Amino acid sequence: MMTSSGSISINADQEEQPLAVKSSVIAYISQKLGHLPSDIVSIDQYESLDGSLSIETLQIEFGSIWTIRFSEPDDQTPGRSWSVEISVGELNNEILVGFRLNCFSRNYDFDFDNSVPRILRSLVNMFSYSDYGYKLSQNAITIQSNSDSEFLYDLINNTKRWRNIVAVSCDENFDSLVDYNGLAYKLSGVAHVVAINPSASFHLSSLLGKELSVFDRGVRTYRPSFSEEDQPTRHPLILRRQIDKVPVITRRKFEEAIRRDCFRMSIERDGLARVVPSFVDIRLAASKARLTALGHHNSSNDDLVRAEIEARKAAESQSEAAMSMALQEEELRKEIESERDNYRAQLYAIRDRVEALEHRLSVAGEQLETGTRPASYDEISPWVEQNFSGKLVLHPRAKKALKNAAYEDIGVVCETLSLLANEYRKVCLGEMRKEEFDSVISNKHLDMSGSISEERAKEFNEEYFINWRGNKSFLHGHIQKGNSRDERYCLRVYFLWEPEDSLIVVGWLPSHLTNRLT
């Protein structure tokens, strides 16, 4: 349901820090479960009679891992219980901390307030708790200068980052439409929460591009594995109009959705089992290690039998835990897929409605495009979004290419995009004959063909491929004007047809991509 990990440095004058971390964990658990053995912090292996508390220690080459697990029933939901696992590893001059929160329910009713347990907030607050070079905090980070924006830009692009970054856009006085301090408190150790003012937001836009920035008191969640070629929808943006002047309960639902997404990201990270090993994994490894050690020391048969039984039970527990987690993940997958399908159905219905209205306007002789056509390349991206939403989209790589465009006739670029979004899309949908389209573009001195063979495209690394919907997709389409190698007089637009969404995706323009001639 939720995981976290981090490290605490051990300074020369803080030799007792590992004991202090363990003591904080024990103090928290004792408040939950009541009286515990007085020496429990130094016990390597323990199991309470009712099974609510377990401790295991695994000796490894460069140190040890101490892990504790406790569970308690949910006070408000019958049949539901919570399990918290905390592991503390002492390696060289560093304390590695792993944290797992699991929910078990007979009815798979996993709706709950997504807030980290108090012990995780305590560890973040009391110790210098950090991860991938960044100190974690239970308070929102204030971003108010250019250097702050550059710090945020580096954090967004950090390849080791597995946490979401929740960026809350504020006014000059850092007033916001959502409670960023409340979010930071409830997401301590699980996400980075930042509050950014207008000037810092403007500078961030110059670094990331406006499509991937956050502004005007909106809220954006930057997910891990960030790339400037990501579709903006991969990093969800809540606009001001969605949260301004709405009932408080509606705003709270947005905040809950943000927290839920942060929790989900924490369990979808790569290599989770290695970075945050579960209690049963550590117990199984420790049981096998003890069994191996007994075999090397000519122990009695009784000791070996007991060790083998212990190892078998640990293996069974691991299997049961894996099955339980798989069931939870399956339910979560079904829920996410159902939500996706509902949104897609709504999108298709809206798109069909818009196209029906556009057809009626076209029959009546009305102009479908709104606003004037762009006079500069900076204006093309918003113009495309305003006029061709649901029909044609500029991939982030194409938007980036427009910043350095040299082709001298921007009017031809706009006309070509309009032809792709309207006439050519009708060809793809079977609503227009290809011969008719060829006649239209021929009259405009344009020519369409395949970009290059996919096999030959592989000779030029990733130039002819884009990341689309999480997959590597080939830019098979190519529309051109002019044969000059001078970029000022040569137009090339590379695109692909996305049949699932009935969408033209432009991956590069307006210059020529590499081929054997270039």
- Residue-wise pLDDT for 379-398, tens only, equals 999 899 889 988 999 998 99
What share of the chain has pLDDT > 90, as a percent?
46
Contact indicator for 395, 504 with CB cutoff of 8 Å: no
Q: Following DSSP, what letter does each residue of 318-342 receive, concatenated?
A: HHHHHHHHHHHHHHHHHHHHHHHHH
The per-residue pLDDT for range 133-170, each reduced to its tens digit, is 999 999 999 999 999 999 999 999 999 999 999 999 99
Residue 17: is its pLDDT beyond 60? yes
Mean pLDDT for 323-351 is: 64
- Neighbouring-strand partners of residue 392: 504
Instruction: Report the run of H or E that residue 308 belongs to, with start and end.
Output: helix 301-363
pLDDT reported for residue 361: 67
Q: ∠ CA 132-134-138 to the nearest 5 degrees? A: 125
State the Cα–Cα distance between residues 43 and 36, nearest whole angstrom: 12
Distance CA 336, CA 342 (A): 10
Confidence of residue 248 (pLDDT cuts 50, 70, 90): confident
Nearest to 121 by CA among 146, 91, 86, 94: 86
SS3 101: strand
* Rounded mean pLDDT, 38-47: 86
Q: How far is CA 316 from CA 100, 177, 320, 342, in A?
A: 20, 49, 6, 39
> pLDDT: is 88 or 80 the higher one?
88
Q: Output the pLDDT for position 67.
A: 92
Please name the residues in contact with 223: beta carbons below 8 A apart, sequence gap of 6 or more. 164, 234, 235, 265
pLDDT score of 343 more than 90 = no
What tens digit of pLDDT does each residue of 281-299 get?
888 888 777 667 665 556 5
Query: Is the pLDDT at 320 greater than 80, yes or no?
Result: no
Q: What is the pLDDT of residue 289?
A: 75
Q: Which tops the pLDDT comparison, 191 or 518?
A: 191
Averaged pLDDT for residues 53-57 = 88
Measuring CA to CA, which residue among 62, 56, 68 is closest to residue 91?
62
Which of 139, 132, 174 is closest to 155 using CA atoms? 132
Cα torsion through 30, 34, 39, 41, rounded to 10: -20
pLDDT band (50, 70, 90) for residue 341: low
- 162-202 pLDDT per residue, tens: 999 999 999 999 999 999 999 999 999 999 999 999 999 99
- The rounded percent of the chain whose pLDDT value lies above 70 is 82
- Residues 6+ away with beta carbon under 8 Å from 105: 77, 79, 80, 81
| pLDDT category of residue 243 using cuts at 50, 70 and 90 | very high
SS3 169: strand
From residue 38, how far is each of 50, 182, 386 by CA, in Å?
A: 18, 36, 68
Residue with more model confidence, 501 or 120: 120
Region 198-209 average pLDDT:
94
10 Å Cβ neighbour count for 84? 22
pLDDT of residue 25: 92
pLDDT value at 490 more than 70: yes
Residue 83 pLDDT more than 90?
no
Tokens of 77: 């939901």
Residues 481-508, mean pLDDT to the nearest whole number: 90
